[in-house]
Homo-oligomer: A and B are copies of this chain.
Amino acid sequence: MKPLSIGQVAKRTGIRTSALRYYEEAGILPAPARVAGRRSYDPDVIRRIDILRFAQQAGFTLEEIKTLFRGFGTDTPLSTRWQRLAHTKLRELDEQAERIQRMRSALELSLKCGCVRIEECSLSPSSVSHANDGCRGSRCS
């Protein structure tokens, strides 16, 4: 397929040109060929950028994503760094998911409940863990 200008890449991915240049500078995206000084992107970059965004939304930092991209093809032994990162991140994702679930319960409870101040209600680490009787306010249902 035809090469893309930075503006076209920006349009297709929803990422601003300034961010694309920044990613390149930071070594996260490869520097594309230049035609008369301008970036000329292989359309493959779109897929890579999609992955980048996806990983970012899942909570990876740009540094981590760089490692992810660097992959493990080049350096034997196979993939140890990448696997470590993946394992670590899996654990982090689980923890984050659990925190989110607890916050969810707490929020839902406090919406049903008529507490005047949030402190009276369920939003604390201790009370959320046994979340049925989290509410201690004056007008709890």
Task: Give chain A interface residues in 85-141, CB to chain B under 8 Å.
Answer: 86-87, 89-90, 93-94, 96-97, 99-104, 106-108, 110-111, 115-119, 123-126, 128
A104 to B86 CA separation, bound complex (whole angstroms): 9
Number of copies: 2
- Tell me whether A54 is interfacial, beta carbon within 8 Å: yes
What are the residues of chain B within 8 A of A60 when measuring CB–CB? 103
Closest beta carbon of chain B to A85's beta carbon, Å:
9
Chain A interface, number of residues (Cβ within 8 angstroms): 47
Least CB distance, A120 to chain B, in whole angstroms: 9
**Does B100 lie within 8 Å of A59, measured CB to CB?**
yes
Main secondary structure of the interface of A (DSSP, over half): helix
Provide the bound-state CA to CA distance between A106 and B51, in Å: 11
Report A117 CB to chain B, min CB distance, Å: 5
CB pair A124–B71 under 8 Å, yes or no, is: no
In the complex the two chains form, what is the Cα distance from A29 to B97 in whole Å? 27
Residues of A25-61 contacting chain B, CB below 8 A: 47-48, 50-51, 53-55, 57-60
A107 and B119 form a contact (CB under 8 A): no
The answer to whether A118 and B50 have CB atoms under 8 Å apart is no
User: Cβ of A86 and Cβ of B103 under 8 Å apart?
Assistant: no
Docked pose: A72 CA to B110 CA in angstroms:
12
